[in-house]
Amino acid sequence: MAVVLSLMMALVLVSYGPGGSLGCDLSQNHVLVGRKNLRLLGQMRRLSSCFCLQDRKHFAYPQEMVEGSQLHEAQAISVLHEMLQQTFNLFNTERSSAAWDTTLLEQLRTGLHQQLDDLDACLGPVTGEEDSALGRTGSTLAVKRYFQGIHVYLKEKEYSDCAWEIIRLEIMRSLSSSTSLQERLRMMDADLNSP
C-alpha cells in the first residue's frame, strides 16, 4: 500500500506541478505501453503465489521520502524515472533471463525501455537550468535503497522461483498504481481543459 500511495503522490506532482502541467507531454502511447507491461508481468506468472506464502516480505518502500509535499516537480519525475530504471535493471540480468520466459521478458524490457525514453524527454525540460543533482538526492536514493533490498532478498532466497514470484507481484503493484493514476490524471486534465 505504501508503494501505491507514494507513486500516486509523485505522479500527481509530475502532472500538476507548480506550472499546472507536466512541462512535457507524455503521450497516450506511454500509458498504453505501461498497460502492456502490466499484462506481460501477469503473463510471466509461473506458479501460484499461494505456494510462496512463506517467502512473502514487506520491502519497506520509502513512503516518507516520496510524499507529495516533499517533492518538487523535477524530483517527482526523477523518482518515476528511477523506479522504471531499477525495474528495467532488475529484469535485465542473467538470473532474470533464467527465471522467466525469454519472449515475454524481452517484450517487458522493450516496454520499460520505451517508457524510460519518454521520461528522459521530460527530465531535460523539467529540470532546465536547475541543479541536475536535485532529483538525485533523498527520494531517488531511497528508491535505489528499496531496490537494493529487493536484490538482497533475491540473493538470500537464492533466486528461487518463489522469490521471483514475490518480486513479480511487488513490481506489478508499483507499475499498476502508476499506470492507473496516469490514466486518471489524463481524464482529470481533459475535464479541466474542456469548456
Question: Domains (ranges, CATH) in the chain?
Answer: 24-188 (1.20.1250.10)
- Cβ distance 92 to 149 under 8 Å? no
- Predicted TM-score (pTM) of the model is 0.76
Residue 73 and residue 181: Cα distance in Å, rounded?
16
- Cβ distance 178 to 7 under 8 Å? yes
Question: Cα angle at 75 between 82 and 138, to 5 degrees?
Answer: 80
- Helix segments in the chain, DSSP class H: 2-15, 28-43, 73-90, 94-99, 102-127, 139-156, 161-193
pLDDT (0 to 100) of residue 181: 46
pLDDT (0 to 100) of residue 112: 95
Q: What is the pLDDT along the chain (195 residues), one digit of tens a residue?
A: 444 434 444 444 444 333 334 445 566 777 789 889 999 999 999 888 888 989 998 887 665 554 444 555 566 677 778 889 999 999 999 999 989 999 999 999 999 999 999 888 777 654 443 444 444 567 788 889 999 999 999 999 999 999 999 999 999 887 776 665 455 444 544 554 555
Instruction: Provide the residue type at 1 as one letter.
Output: M
pLDDT (0 to 100) of residue 194: 57
Please give the DSSP secondary-structure letter assigned to residue 23: S
**Max CA pair span of the chain:** 57
